[in-house]
A and B are shown apart, each in its own frame.
Chain A
C-alpha cells in the first residue's frame, strides 16, 4: 500500500495521542500546538472522514453534552490498520534518514 500523506500522518498521530479524548476540537488543538497553524474545521472534518473511509480510523458518537448545544461528539480511534500505516511511514522515514548527519541550526545557515 502507498504511504499515507504527511497531513494524514499528523491526524492519525494526534488521534492516537489523545486516546479516549479524540474529537474535532481536541485534535484541532493538538495540530495547532504541533504545526503552529490552525486548520479550518470543515477541512479537518473532511480529512478525518476520509481516513474513516480508508479504515485507518473508526468513529463513534458520544453522549450529548450541554455546552455543545445538545449535540453529541464524534469520537475517533485509530484502527490496527491505522497503526500499521503509521509504523510504515516511520520506518520509511527512518530508512531515508539513516546515516545522514543531523541538521543543526548552524548548518542551515
Chain B
C-alpha cells in the first residue's frame, strides 16, 4: 500500500456503499474513479473537503442506482408479462375457470368487506367521537346481569355539576306526537334533547342555525320530515303544532332542518326539541325530572380529555347509592361507559340503547363465508397450476440453464398469478359494483352499502390481491422453481408426485362446498319453518288501528261495531308485537322480571290467544279489573308453581293480584328472541292505544276501507294509522327471506367454483393419460371401465369430503343458528344428505362430458405420435 500521507484512502463506509450499490463490474472501476478525484481534491483543498465531496457523490448515486435497477427490472418484467399473457391465452379454458372462480369469490369478499367496514365505521363521522361516552346501567335480573342503555333522569345534570372534566351532557328522551302544518297531519317521533345536542354530535343543518335549539319555541326537523310538510322549500320560521296524545297542543317554530344524515349514522332524529319541553307537552311532570326512579332514554357525556374517563368512572358510587335508595325494584349494580364509536358494535349487548348495530354473528359468519369462497378459488388455481406445470417444463429448463435464479423463477410464477388475480380483482369489483352490492341492498331492508373508491377500500384491494396471489401462487411457484434442469431435459422430471397435495386440496374444496351447500339448504328450510311456525295466536285478518285520545276507543268502537265484515273488536294499552311494559312481580318465594300487557276484555278472543288453564278475563266480574292476572306458560315454569290458578302475586305498584288463567306460550317478539314470562292485566278503556279488529274471512279489504272512512268522518283532525298484525313482523320475515336467498346464492357460487376446478383438473389428467386410455380401449375397455378409471379417485375424494363436511357443517350451522334465533329448525341429517346428492350430481355431470369425449375418441389419434 502507498504510505504517502497525502494519498490517504477515501472514507471506508462510503466506499463500501458504492461497492454495494452497483453491480460488480461497474462498482469496482467507479470506486477507482472516485478515489482518483478524491485524492485530487484532497491534495488541493484538504481531506475534509474531499471527504464531503465523496459522501455527496454517494448520495447523488442513489437516484442513479434506482434508475438503473428499475431499468433492468423493467426489461425482465416485459418478458415476464409477455410470457404470462401468452400462457393465459394458450390455456384459455383453464384461465377462464380460474378467472371466473376468483372473480366471483373476490366480488363476494368485497361485499363482505363493505358490510364489516360499515359496521366498524358506524358513527365515525362525529367529530367529537372519541370524547363522547354513553352511560349504560347494569341491573341484575332473574340471576343474570343485564346491560341497559338508559340511565336515571337526574344523573346527567348531577354529573355536569360535579365533574369539571365534563364539557357537555346530553340527555335524550323519546315521545310520539301528531304534528300539524296547515292541513298536513302526521304522527312523528319526538326527540327531547339537551340544547347542546347539535354541538356534541356532528349533524350539520341544511337550513337554520344550531343555536335555534336553545330557544324553547323551536323544533329542528330532519330533511325527510321537513319534506313531508314543506316539500323542498325552506321552512325556517314556519309554525307547526305538536299534540301529544291526551294533552294540550302547543305551537312551535321550525328553527332548522338537518342535512341528509350520513349513511353511517347509527342513530338519527326526526323532530328535535328541548329536553325540558317534556314538561310543557305533558309527557313528564316537573317533579319527575328530579326523580331517580325515572329513566332518561340516554345520557351521553362529552369529556374535555378522554383520559379523564377512568377518574369519573371511579366516582360514580354516590349516584348509584342515590338511585338504589329510591328505586328498590330496579337497583343499578354499576354504571358502564361506552364510547360513541363502539356503540353500534356493542349494541347487541345493550337493551334499549340509542344505536342499532348488527349482531357479531353476522359479521363472523360472513367473514368465514368470504374466506371459504376465496380459499375455494385459490385451491382451484393451485391444483391447476401444479397439474399444468408439465406443459411448461421446457420453458423452466431453458430459463434455468440460461441463468435464471431460483428466486427469479419464483418471482415469475408468482407474478403470473398476481397478474391473474389483478384481472380477477377488476372483474370482481365490477361484479360487486353492478350486481352483488345492489342485490345485497335489495335483499336486506335498510342496508345501504356503497363502494367508495376514495376510502380504505384500496387497502383492502391490495390486501386481497396479496392474499389470493400468495395463497394460490406460493406453492406452485416453489414447486416449479425446484425442478432440476438436467432432469427436465432428460425427460426424467417426475410430475404428479405431489398428488397427495392435489387430492387433499380437492377434498378440502368439496368439504367447504358441501358445508356451504348444506347451509344454503338449512337456511332455506329454516325460513319456511319460521314462516309456518305457530305464533301462539292468529296473526291473520287482524287490523290494528292506533288510537290517539281517551275517548277515541269508545267512539270508534261503537261506530264500526255493526259493520258486517268485522267479527270482533278489542282494545289494548300494550299490544302484542308493538308495546309491552317491563316490570317486576313478587311471589312468596321469588321475585322475577316479566313482560306486562294491559288489555281490554275481548283481547284474547280477538287475537285468538289459546287458554291453557283457568279462564280469560270476564267483563261481568268487576273485581277482575283490579285483582286478576293471566300469565303464560313460561311464567309458570320460571316461577316453579304447581298449583297456578288462585296464586297471589304482588306487582311493582304494591297491589296484589290473583292468577285466574294461563295462556299457551306465544311469540310477542320475532323468532330471534326467546319467550320470557308474560302477565296480562286489564286496563281501563280510556288508556287504550290500540284497537284490534278481527275481520271475517274474505272481507278484509272492505273492512279496511270502512274503518278508514269511518275514522276520517269521526276524527278528521287525527292521522289514521292502521296495519295488519302480520305486518308488524314483516321485517323479520323479509330478513329471513334475504338470508335464504343469500345462502342459496353462496351455495351456488361455491358449487360452481369447485366443479369448475374439478372440470379443469380432470381434463388435464385425462390429457396426460390419453395414451393410457387409448391402449386400454384397443385392448377392449368399454364405457364401464372408463367410468371406473376416471371416477375411482374422485369418488373417494367426495366420500371423504362428505365424512368431513357432515360434522363440521353440523357444528358450524348449530352455532350460527343458535346465535341468530331462539326458535329455529332442528338440525337433522336431511340437509346434509340433500347437499351430498347435489354435489355428487354436479360432480358427475362435470365428469360426464369428459367420459363421453374418451369414449367417442378414436384410439388411433391418441396413440399416433408426431
Task: Report chain B residues within 8 Å CB of A25.
Answer: 33, 36-37
**A10-18, A37-45, A82-90, A95-103: which one contacts chain B?**
A37-45
State whether A71 and B57 are in contact (beta carbons under 8 Å apart), knowing that A45-B64, A50-B71, A61-B29 are contacts in the complex: no
Tell me the smallest distance from the CB of A82 to a CB of chain B, in Å. Answer: 19
Closest 8 CB pairs of A and B: A42-B61, A71-B32, A40-B60, A74-B29, A42-B64, A24-B33, A68-B32, A43-B64
Stretch at the interface among B20-28, B183-191, B503-511, B641-649: B20-28
Closest-CB distance, A71 to chain B (whole angstroms): 3
> Which residues 662-692 of B sit at the A interface, judged by CB distance below 8 A?
none
> Is B30 located at the chain interface by the 8 A CB criterion?
yes
Known: A41-B57, A46-B64. A69 touches B30 (CB 8 A): no
Docked Cα-Cα span, A45 to B65, in Å, equals: 10
A64 to B18, CA, bound (A): 19
Decide if A49 is an interface residue (CB 8 Å cutoff): yes
B53-75 CB contacts (< 8 Å) to partner A: 57-58, 60-65, 67-68, 71
Q: How large is the interface on B (under 10, 10 to 19, 20 to 34, 35 or more residues)?
A: 20 to 34
Interface residues of A in 55-109 (CB under 8 A from B): 61, 64, 66-69, 71-74
Contacts A45-B64, A67-B36, A72-B32 supplied; 20 other A-B pairs, CB < 8 Å: A25-B33, A40-B61, A41-B30, A41-B33, A42-B18, A42-B61, A43-B61, A45-B22, A46-B65, A61-B29, A64-B32, A66-B2, A68-B33, A68-B35, A68-B36, A69-B31, A71-B28, A71-B29, A71-B31, A72-B28
Known: A42-B65, A74-B29. A69 touches B60 (CB 8 A): no
A-B contact pairs, 17 of them (CB 8 A): A28-B37, A40-B60, A41-B30, A41-B33, A41-B37, A41-B57, A41-B60, A42-B60, A43-B61, A45-B26, A45-B61, A46-B67, A50-B71, A67-B35, A71-B31, A73-B29, A74-B29
Question: How close is A59's CB to chain B, nearest CB, in angstroms?
Answer: 9
Among residues of A, the one whose C-beta sits closest to the C-beta of B31 is A71
B68: which A residues are within 8 A, CB to CB?
46, 49
Q: How many residues of A contact B (CB 8 A)?
A: 22
Instruction: Tell me the residues in window 1-50 of chain A with beta carbons closer than 8 Å to chain B beta carbons.
Output: 23-25, 28, 40-43, 45-46, 49-50
A24 to B2, CA, bound (A): 23
**Which residues of A are found within 8 Å of B33, using beta-carbon distances?**
23-25, 28, 41, 45, 68, 73
Nearest chain A CB to B45's CB is how many angstroms away? 15
Which residues in A have some Cβ–Cβ distance to B below 8 Å?
Answer: 23-25, 28, 40-43, 45-46, 49-50, 61, 64, 66-69, 71-74
Task: Say how far A5's CB is from chain B's closest CB, in angstroms.
Answer: 14
- The answer to whether B131 has its CB under 8 Å from any CB of chain A is no
Q: Contact between A40 and B28 (Cβ–Cβ < 8 Å)?
A: no
Contact partner of B64 (CB less than 8 A), chosen from A24, A40, A67, A69, is A40
Say yes or no: is B341 at the interface (Cβ < 8 Å to chain A): no
When A66-B2, A67-B39 are in contact, do A42 and B32 touch as well, CB less than 8 Å? no
Please indicate the chain B residues that have their CB under 8 angstroms from the CB of A67 in the complex.
7, 35-36, 39
- How many inter-chain residue pairs (CB < 8 Å) link A and B? 81
Q: List B contacts of A49 (CB < 8 A).
A: 26, 68
When the two chains form their complex, are residues A72 and B2 in contact, meaning their CB atoms are under 8 A apart?
A: no
- Highest count of chain B CB atoms <10 Å: which of A50, A66, A68: A68
Q: Which residue from chain B places its CB closest to the CB of A29 in the assembled complex?
A: B37
CB-CB under 8 A from B393, the residues of chain A are: none
From B29, B34, B37, B60, contact of A72 by CB (8 A): B29
Q: Does B9 contact A (CB under 8 A)?
A: yes
Interface residues of B (CB under 8 A from A): 2, 7, 9-10, 18, 21-22, 26, 28-37, 39, 57-58, 60-65, 67-68, 71
B217 to chain A, nearest CB (A): 75
A26 and B71 CA atoms in complex are apart in Å by 26
Question: A61 vs B18: C-alpha distance in the bound complex, in angstroms?
Answer: 18
Cβ contact within 8 Å between B26 and A69: no
Please tell me which one of the listed residues B10, B32, B71 contacts residue A73 in the complex, with CB atoms under 8 A apart: B32
Q: Which of A40, A66, A73 contacts B57 (CB 8 A)?
A: A40
Q: Is the CB of A69 within 8 A of B32?
A: yes
Cβ-neighbour of A43 out of B21, B26, B28, B60 (below 8 A) = B60
Please name the residue on chain B nearest to A64 by beta carbon. Answer: B32
Give Cα A64 to B37, complex, Å: 15
Residue in A64, A69, A73 whose Cβ sees the most chain B Cβ within 10 Å = A69
Report the separation of the CA atoms of residues A41 and B63 in the bound assembly, to the nearest whole angstrom.
Answer: 11
CA A73 to CA B31, docked complex, whole Å: 10
Measured CA separation A23–B26 after assembly (Å): 12
B39 CB contacts on chain A under 8 angstroms: 67
**Chain B residues near A71 (CB-CB < 8 A):** 28-29, 31-32, 35
Q: In the assembly, what is the distance between CA of A12 and CA of B37, in Å?
A: 21
Q: Which residue on B lies nearest to A41, using beta carbons?
A: B57
Q: How far is the CB of B48 from chain A (nearest CB, A)?
A: 19
B659 to chain A, nearest CB (A): 95
Bound Cα distance A74, B58 (Å): 19
Task: List, in ascending order, chain A residues with CB within 8 A of B57's CB.
Answer: 40-42
Is A41 within 8 A of B61, CB to CB? yes
Contacts of A69 in B (CB 8 A): 9-10, 31-32, 35
Taking CB as reference atom, which chain A residue is nearest B35? A69
B71 neighbours in A (Cβ, 8 Å) = 50
